[in-house]
Amino acid sequence: MRSRWVVKPGMEDEARRYFDEALDFFGGKVVPGGQAAIHGGSINLDESRPHMQIISDPLMTDPQSKDPVKDLKSGFSLAMGSHRKSKMIPKTDKSGAAVLGEDGSPVMRRENASDKAERHHRELKEWMLDAGFDIEAERDAKRHNRRVDLQDFQQIRDREAATADEAGVAQEMFTEAGIARHEAAAFQESAEDTVVSSQELTAEWEKTEMPKLERLAKSNLTKKYVPRWKAKAKRDAEADVREEMQPDLDAAAVDCQAAAEALSQARAREAALARREDDMGERESELERRETVFEQRERSLSQRESVLGEREEKASQLLYSAKVLDDDAQMALKSIIDIRDALPTDAQRRFDDLAGRRVKSKAAKLQLHEQQQAQLERLKASGSSVKQESRPDRGYGK
């Protein structure tokens, strides 16, 4: 199986230089022991992506030792992990903004493992750009943050694979068409050489044989046979040339026709590939539109949740206000009943007539209060909004 990544012809030295520069960066900027800590490696071009495997150790010289060259110590934490001697960098929050202290200066912290990995990645880009390689200097946030569902991603990969296969077939057909055109041109050149040879033979025949015929014509032979001889000799020469050239001409015609058919098929394949690319572009646009719709729906749901929370809080406040008002009304009713009970009998009757209702005993009042409390409890349990309703007459029944 051929790798999907193939070095372009003439770019082999440039590809080799790319890995050499990467190896120089790794030995000079990453491993603590430098180039001496690299023991070997290999470049793989036979898999889905070209890559280099490096064998190295994390050891470094110990400056406090009497023999720093022989006495080595591990430098893994200092180079790639967390270490007390790691350099200081500004502390940032989740948004990436610098955290400032009370005096307004940035708060500093030591590099950790992820910080060092990001720094190595950033410095590697700068190293390769300085070396003259055409790579992306900045991260494309729109392309890297784009989300695609698993099913859509699999469909896109399948289409890309099919498009790549068809592109390979089209390229092979173009190559075959070019070879056929080249062979046809060679046959045509051969045919032209044959025609030139036949013309040279005719000229040579006219130069050598014509004088003989003329001498025969002057030797009292009948002049009427000379034109016949000339015509016959010319026809024979042309027939010999045609018979010699005909196979080459027929083969050239067949090859030209095959080349034309291959070129037509290649153009049709190219048009189909263009249509597939347009279809993939439309598919990607549709995915982006669906992502936009999903984001809008998420924002709408968040807004609705906020509104529902506000409504629930307002309903709780209304329930609490209704309970307070009801307690106040009950206290006022109790005070009115006490005042009525203190009045003489005649005054109580007049009071009852004015109120429009008669309350026979305090039990009726307590029963009415219990009904109102039960109604409030049902409203709380159901969670429904509290509506303004007309309160029952708190006067005394007749």
Question: In whole angstroms, what is the distance from residue 186 CA to residue 252 CA?
Answer: 9
Tell me which amino acid residue 214 is: E
Instruction: Kindly compute the dihedral angle of the four CA atoms of residues 364, 369, 371, 372, in this order, to the nearest 10 degrees.
Output: 150
Structure letter (DSSP) for residue 387: P
d(CA 292, CA 298): 10
Q: Are 147 and 250 in contact (CB under 8 A)?
A: no
pTM over 0.75: no
Residues 29 and 80 sit within 8 Å (Cβ to Cβ): no
| pLDDT tens digits in sequence order for the chain, 398 residues long | 344 456 677 888 888 899 999 999 999 999 988 898 899 988 887 776 778 899 999 988 887 877 766 778 888 888 888 888 888 989 888 888 888 888 889 999 999 988 889 899 989 999 999 999 888 877 766 666 666 677 777 777 888 787 777 777 777 777 777 777 777 777 677 777 776 777 777 777 677 766 766 666 565 555 555 566 667 767 777 777 677 777 777 777 777 787 788 788 888 888 888 888 888 888 888 888 888 888 888 888 878 888 877 887 887 788 888 788 878 878 887 888 888 778 788 777 777 777 655 444 555 666 777 777 787 777 767 654 444 444 444 444 43
- Euclidean distance between CA atoms 25 and 43, whole angstroms: 16
The alpha-helical segments, DSSP class H, found in the chain are: 12-25, 76-80, 113-130, 141-144, 150-218, 225-342, 345-355, 362-382
> Would you call 13 helix, strand, or coil by DSSP?
helix
Closest residue by Cα to residue 283 from 129, 160, 166: 160
Q: Tokens standing for 316?
A: 């709780």
Domain boundaries, the chain: 12-140, 150-299
Q: What is the DSSP letter of 345?
A: H
